[in-house]
Amino acid sequence: MSAVEPLHPLAGLMPAPLPGPDPLRLGLPRRELVQVTARHGADPTGLGFALPGPGESAETAGITALWMQPRGWLLSAPWDGEGALLTRAAPLAPAAALVDQSHGRCTIRLAGAKSRAVLAKLCRIDLHPRIFGPGRVAATQVAHLACLLHQAEPEAFELIVFSTLAANLLDALASAAAEYGYAPG
């Protein structure tokens, strides 16, 4: 089945590349997002893996589960058609409320040797590897915006933010990265 992938909410707003000594790679991956909120007294299972504890993520079969709040998670997966992730998450439904957030929120990815240094200018949590690290998640503020911050790889972070506020965040990230340079990627 060929699914038409909708535009990322920031499509067309990516700044022109800025040359620099160690450019940050700014990416706009189009993801499906499903919010999972456990029902009172219920334990959502059925995805084939345990939903992660506070500040953690878990990944299986292309679905990444991010801890978002007590008894609340966000599932993220590459775009596979409108509602596809919601369908895959259906086994959780008896124990949890599922809400498709694929359009309400979007993902910005930053990668490169300076990604942590750029984020450190904009957020107040300790991202040093002895505290944070690959797989860790924080619901926190970045550039004064409430974000879900996920360290996807040793040198790559993903920010999930309300789509209506995302342009401001992209702008702030580009400004913070100016001394190193940046490019789409």
* Footprint on this chain of another protein (rule: CB under 8 A): 54-55, 68-70, 72, 124-125, 138-141, 144, 146
Beta carbon nearer to another protein, 79 or 141? 141
Beta carbon nearer to another protein, 124 or 130? 124
- From the CB of 127, what's the least distance to another protein, in Å? 13
- From the CB of 70, what's the least distance to another protein, in Å? 6
- Of 103, 130, 136, the closest CA to residue 33 belongs to 103
**CA atoms 167, 171, 172, 174: torsion sign:** positive
Beta carbon nearer to another protein, 97 or 113? 97
Two structure tokens written together for 54: 């506070």
Query: Is 85:32 a contact under the CB 8 Å cutoff?
Result: yes
- From the CB of 126, what's the least distance to another protein, in Å? 9
Encode 44-100 in three state secondary structure. Answer: CCCCCCCCCCCCEEEEECCEEEEEEECCEEEEEEECCCCCHHHHHCHHHCCCEEEEE
- From the CB of 137, what's the least distance to another protein, in Å? 10
Beta carbon nearer to another protein, 54 or 104? 54
